[in-house]
């Protein structure tokens, strides 16, 4: 299934799901799937990712959400599923291992093991539990094309990162925001390099927390100081 945007992927997947459920007379299952999609907000799955990261190219992320739905209804087979004890080991301490850290896709696979399903050549790694109620774990690592100018040749070249950084992990058993774990790279993508000012993490030192409070006070007292606050970001990240 090919789509050029996340919204298009959502539309195609929804149509396919509706057709399959109609043919198999599974109205209740189709309604369950619709409720799952609606939990992402009025703009659906794609809208949640676009609002969070500001990019329409979230086809793989949308496909992953629908893959879990198709698998739960028996329309999709995955390589393997993970039992109770394995799932506890897989998901235990995820925040300690990934949040506020830069982790590459290869390292994530070493830490988590072989995924149940790989989407878009690794853009999304899916880990499926045996128990449908437990949900899936998604690891997002969209590859970035780096554009470089070739001196003396008068042209640009674009290199694709073959081992991209992980942006986020998602636990589908929880609401979208609650089940989201952002790496350091993911937080910069979402909030910019000054993410730590308004979104402090447990790993911040007391000194960093104090600096963040001071910068918030400066900003709140005098909005014209925004530029100086932005200039201070690289010094304390």
Do 128 and 82 contact (CB within 8 A), yes or no? yes
DSSP 166: P
Confidence (pLDDT) at 209: 66
pLDDT at 57: 84
Residue 82 three-state SS: strand
Q: What is the pLDDT of residue 211?
A: 66
DSSP lists the bridge partners of residue 146 as: 159
Q: Are 193 and 233 within 8 A, CB to CB?
A: yes
pLDDT, tens digit, 9 for 90 and up, residues 108-146? 999 999 999 999 999 999 999 999 889 999 999 998 888
What are the residue boundaries of the structural domains of the chain, listed by start?
1-77, 78-190, 192-237
Q: What is the pLDDT of residue 235?
A: 44
Q: Which residues of the chain have pLDDT under 70?
A: 196, 199-200, 202, 204-205, 208-209, 211-212, 215-216, 222-237
């Amino acid at each position: 299934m090919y789509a050029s945007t996340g919204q298009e992927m959502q539309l195609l997947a929804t149509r396919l799901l509706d057709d399959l459920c109609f043919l198999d007379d599974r109205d209740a299952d189709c309604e369950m799937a619709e409720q799952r999609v609606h939990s992402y907000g009025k703009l659906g799955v794609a809208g949640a990712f676009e609002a969070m990261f500001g990019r329409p190219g979230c086809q793989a992320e949308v496909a992953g959400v629908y893959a879990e739905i198709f698998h739960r209804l028996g329309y999709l087979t995955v390589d393997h599923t993970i039992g109770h004890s394995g799932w506890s080991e897989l998901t235990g301490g995820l925040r300690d291992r990934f949040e506020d850290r830069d982790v590459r896709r290869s390292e994530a696979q070493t830490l988590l093991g072989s995924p149940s399903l790989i989407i878009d050549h690794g853009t999304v790694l899916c880990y499926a539990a045996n128990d449908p109620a437990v949900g899936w774990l998604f690891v997002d690592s969209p590859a970035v094309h780096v554009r470089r100018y070739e001196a003396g040749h008068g042209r640009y070249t674009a290199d694709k990162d073959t081992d991209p950084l992980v942006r986020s992990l998602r636990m589908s058993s929880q609401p979208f925001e609650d089940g989201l774990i952002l790496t350091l790279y993911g937080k910069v993508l979402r909030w910019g390099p000054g993410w730590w000012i308004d979104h402090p993490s447990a790993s911040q030192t007391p000194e960093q927390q104090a600096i963040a409070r001071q910068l918030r006070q400066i900003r709140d007292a005098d909005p014209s100081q925004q530029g100086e606050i932005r200039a201070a970001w690289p010094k304390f990240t």
